[in-house]
């Protein structure tokens, strides 16, 4: 039986970039579909069976942030990597807050992009094989439903957020560095060349969900100079 080719959806309005990305991924064994307009891209994303979406931020019709938000309303598990010429911290934070797995500013190297996509795909099927329902303080987390429950209130998580919690929980006796999370959760082989604030922003998102007071975290703490440590996981 032939292995299943990963199916990518590329939503990008710059024709030269779209064609170049399509050629690169086809050459590297992917199935590729594409859209050059936001509304069409969203329709394809919601109706197709894709392993990952490459999503430009600036698009005609509907921007990438709105597309990401709409996708996450119905699918919190589909990997999304944002591509954009915008590099301000506000843009990065907003994209990741809405549930993107990663963020790559233009211009980027083909090698870097391929490595990021491969890393996300390696991790994307791992979640439910590894995680069982567990407690984090008074929060009951159910990875099969990508949710947590506290006092009868349901809290939604993305796949990436739960992967972070799992890794920190399995290493809760010690702090885990940002570089280790990039290697073990994001799957990057060489973190020295990863220009991303993804870890920091995901940690901030998690604190807003799991902490009673995110400004004074008690469950997901920072150990100065060493990294992050999870407390209260059972």
pLDDT at residue 132, rounded to an integer: 75
pLDDT in tens, 180-229: 888 888 877 766 656 567 788 889 989 999 998 888 999 999 999 899 99
pLDDT at position 1, please? 45
Coil, strand, or helix at residue 107?
coil
Cα separation, 54 vs 45, in Å, equals 10
Per-residue 3-state assignment (H helix, E strand, C coil) for 23-89: HHHHHCCCEEEEECCHHHHHHHHHHCCCCEEEEECCCCCCCHHHHHHHHHHHCCCCCEEEEECCCCH
**Which CATH number is 127-230's, of 3.10.20.520, 1.10.10.10, 3.100.10.20, 2.40.50.460?**
1.10.10.10
Structure tokens that stand for 45 in this block: 């994303």
**pLDDT for position 203:** 92
Reading phi first (left if > 0) and then psi (alpha if -120 to 50, else beta), residue 86 is in beta
b/e code 172-202 from CB counts within 10 Å (16+ = b):
eeebbbbebbbbbbbbbeebeebebebbebb
Which part of the chain has CATH 1.10.10.10? 127-230
Task: Determine the Cα–Cα distance for residues 114 and 181; give it in Å rounded to an integer.
Answer: 19
Cis preceding-peptide flag for 107 (omega within 30 of 0): yes
Q: What is the CATH number of domain 7-124?
A: 3.40.50.2300
Give the bridge partners for 153, in sequence order. 150
The 3-state DSSP class for residue 198 equals: helix
pTM of the model: 0.76
Strand partners, 81: 54, 102
Model pLDDT for residues 50-75, shown as the tens digit of each residue: 999 999 988 999 999 999 999 999 88
> Where in the chain do CATH 3.40.50.2300 domains reside?
7-124
């Amino acid at each position: 039986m032939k292995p299943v080719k990963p199916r990518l959806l590329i939503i990008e309005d710059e024709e030269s970039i779209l064609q170049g990305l399509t050629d690169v991924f086809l050459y590297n064994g992917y199935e590729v579909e594409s859209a050059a307009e936001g509304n069409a891209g969203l329709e394809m994303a919601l109706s197709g069976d894709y392993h990952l979406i490459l999503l430009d931020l600036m698009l005609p019709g509907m921007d990438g942030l709105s597309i990401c938000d709409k996708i996450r309303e119905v699918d919190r598990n589909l990997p999304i990597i944002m591509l954009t010429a915008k590099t301000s911290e506000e843009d990065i934070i907003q994209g990741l807050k809405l549930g993107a797995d990663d963020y790559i500013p233009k211009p980027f190297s083909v090698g870097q992009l391929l490595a990021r996509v491969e890393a996300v795909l390696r991790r994307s099927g791992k979640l439910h094989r590894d995680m069982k329902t567990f407690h984090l303080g008074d929060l009951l987390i159910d990875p099969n439903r990508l949710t947590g429950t506290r006092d009868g209130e349901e809290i939604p998580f993305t796949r990436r957020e739960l992967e972070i919690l799992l890794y920190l929980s399995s290493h809760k006796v010690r702090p885990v560095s940002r570089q280790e999370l990039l290697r073990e959760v994001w799957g990057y082989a060489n973190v020295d060349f990863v220009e991303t604030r993804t870890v920091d922003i995901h940690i901030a998102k998690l604190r807003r969900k799991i902490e009673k007071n995110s400004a004074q975290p008690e469950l997901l703490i920072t150990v100065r100079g060493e990294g992050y440590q999870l407390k209260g996981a059972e």
